[in-house]
Structure 1
Amino acid sequence: MNMKRKDFLMVAIAGFFTSLFLLPTLKNVKLLGISNAFYLFMAGLPILWVLALVVGRFLNRWLGWIYQFVKFCVIGFLNASIDFGVLNLLSLYTGITSGFILGGVNVPGFIIAATNSYFWNKFWVFSHQRQEGPPAQAGEKVSYGDLPTFIAVVVSGALVNSGLVVFISTYFHPVFGMSAERWLNIAKVSASAAALAWNFIGFRVFVFKSKENQLT
C-alpha cells in the first residue's frame, strides 16, 4: 500500500475511534443524544480528516512541516477523545468535577492516551524519520531507544495538562450558567491545547528527531 493510501486509511480509522471514545464525554455534558451524536461523528470525522490531509498535502509545498502537523493533529484528536472519555467516565462515576483530587482523576486517561500516542506517532506520524539512513535488514528489531525521551516529554506535558485542568476548574467559576461537568471539559480543552503544542514540539525536536526536523 503506498503512503498516500495508507495515510487516508489511517485518518479514517483514527476518525472512527475518535467518535467511539467521545461517547462518555457526550453523555457527561449532556450535549447531544449519544446514538445520534455517535453516528454523526462516525460519518463526519473520517471525511473531515481526509479533507484536512488533502489540504495539508497541498500546503506542504510551502510549509514543509504542515502535512506532518495535520497527521499529528488527527492523532491528537484521537488521544484527546481517549483522554476526555476516560476523565468523563471517571467523573460520572465519582462525581468529581473540581479540586486537587481532580488532578489524580485526570491522570489515567492521560496515560492511556499517551501510550496510544507513542505508537501512532512512532509508526505513522513521524515514521519517515525512522526510515532515514541504511535500509533495515530483514528481521531487524524496532528500536525503542526514544522511549525514555518520549516519557519525559509526556510526563512534563501531563503536569501542564493536569495543572491547568485543576487551576481552571477550581479557581475560575463557570460562566454562562454552565454546569460543573461542562466547565470541567472547558478546562480540559484549554489544558489539552497547551499540551498539544508542547508535545508536538517535544516529539518533533527531541523524540522523533532527524536532520529535517526543523519547524520551517
Structure 2
Amino acid sequence: MEQYVYKFLKFGVVGVMGVVIDFGLTWFFKEKLRWNKYLANVTGFSVAVINNFFFNRFWTFKSTNPNWGLEFGKFALVSTIGLLLNNLCIYIFHQRLKFNFYTAKVFATGIVFVWNFTSNMFFTFR
C-alpha cells in the first residue's frame, strides 16, 4: 500500500507541473492569442501530456520497458480519454452550471487526475 501512496504523491508532483504547463498555455492561447477556448484547452493539455509522460515514465513509475513507443501510445490513449473527460467536465461545469471557465477547469483537472493515475498505474506502467 505504501508504494501506491508514494507513487500517487509523485504522480501528483508531476501533475502539478503539468497543470502549470496546461493552465499557462491555455491562458496564453485563449487570452492573448484569442483562440477558441476548447482549442486552447486541447493545446495546453497536449503539451502537458508529453511532459508528464517522460516524468512519470522515468521518475514516478520507473519504467524499464524497452518498448517506450507502445508505452507512450498507452499513455496517449489514457490521456486522450482524459482530454475528452476534461472537455466534457468543462462543458458541464462552465456551459451548463455556469461556473467560471477556470473554476470549471480546476474541477475537470481534479476528476481527470484520478482517472489518469488509476489508468496509468494499472494499464500503462503495470
Question: Match for 2:58 among 106, 110, 123?
Answer: 123
Partner residue of 2:48? 113
Whether 1:151 aligns to 2:76 is yes
State the TM-score, normalized to the length of structure 1. 0.54
AA aligned opposite 1:149: K
Question: Match for 1:78 among 14, 17, 33?
Answer: 17
Structure 2 unaligned regions, length at least 5: none
Answer 1 or 2: higher relative contact order, Cα 8 Å, separation at least 6. 2
State the identity as a percent.
28
Which structure shows the bigger proportion of residues in helix conformation?
2
Q: CA RMSD in A?
A: 1.8
Partner residue of 1:26? none
How far the C-alpha of 1:168 sits from its partner, in A, is: 1.4
Q: When the two structures are aligned, how many residues end up with a matched partner?
A: 125
CA distance in 2, matches of 1:173, 1:204: 34
CA distance in 2, matches of 1:204, 1:113: 18
Residues 89 and 107 of structure 2 are in contact (CA less than 8 Å); yes or no, is this contact kept in structure 1?
A: yes
Runs of 4 or more, structure 1, over 3 Å off, are: none
Which of the two has higher C-alpha Rg?
1
AA aligned opposite 2:74: T
CA distance in 2, matches of 1:70, 1:188: 21
Structure 1 unaligned regions, length at least 5: 1-61, 132-141, 175-182, 210-216
State the TM-score, normalized to the length of structure 2. 0.89
Structure-to-structure mapping, 1:16-165, within 5 angstroms: 63-95=2-34, 101-127=36-62, 129-130=63-64, 142-144=66-68, 145-165=70-90
How far the C-alpha of 1:92 sits from its partner, in A, is: 1.4
How far the C-alpha of 1:74 sits from its partner, in A, is: 0.4
